[in-house]
Amino acid sequence: MKLVSQGAQYAISAIIALSKQPEAVISASELSRQLRCPSAYLSQILSKLKAPGILGSQRGLNGGVFLAQKLSDFTVYDVITAIDGDDFFSMCFMGIQGCGHIEPCPFHTFWSVQREKIKKWLQATSFADTERLMTNEWFHERLFFSNGAEIASTNQK
């Protein structure tokens, strides 16, 4: 069971990739190649991260996106809600419209508590925290980066 959309997964992966070269400006097409995801789709996702100030962009021949904030200044929750909104944090576990305190489904009480715990954890987890917890081996295996030199060779801000 996935708790976030494919778009949010790509956004999180892109930020992790950008965190490996925090001063770099990387094109969406380069990121999409490295993350093995559709370039046009990733471009749409990345644009959603500009409004909250998580990413900045540079136009032109050497254009692309870059981290606009320090990794400690935004959370996993910020990224997920920028992409998916915050519906997950108010939805019924079963997807039943109108489920709530007045007409709860059988899972309402349990799910309300668990959903709030998840929300608080995501709000408390910055990308600096994830950077500290992630090994380079995990990064290279899971996010399909063959080597850091490919990103390191991109333009600098």
CATH classification number, 6-86+126-156, choose in 2.60.40.1180, 1.10.10.10, 2.70.98.40, 1.10.569.10: 1.10.10.10
pLDDT single digits (tens) 124-138: 999 999 877 776 776
With residue 24 as reference, give the H or E element that holds it: strand 24-25
The residue-averaged pLDDT of 88-95 equals 85
List, as one string, the DSSP characters of 29-92.
Answer: HHHHHHHTS-HHHHHHHHHHTTTTTSEEEE-STT-EEEE-S-GGGSBHHHHHHHHH-SGGGTS-
154 pLDDT band (50/70/90 cuts)?
Answer: very low
**What integer pLDDT is reported at residue 148 of this predicted model?**
44
- N- to C-terminal Cα distance for the chain? 39
- In angstroms, the CA 79 to CA 155 distance is 24
Are residues 157 and 60 in contact, defined by beta-carbon separation less than 8 angstroms?
no
Q: What percentage of residues in the chain have a pLDDT greater than 70?
A: 85
List, as one string, the DSSP characters of 93-138.
Answer: TT--TT-SSSS--TTHHHHHHHHHHHHHHHHH-BHHHHHHH--HHH
Neighbours of 60 (CB within 10 A): 8
Domain-wise residue ranges, the chain: 6-86+126-156
143 pLDDT band (50/70/90 cuts)?
Answer: low
**What integer pLDDT is reported at residue 87 of this predicted model?**
85
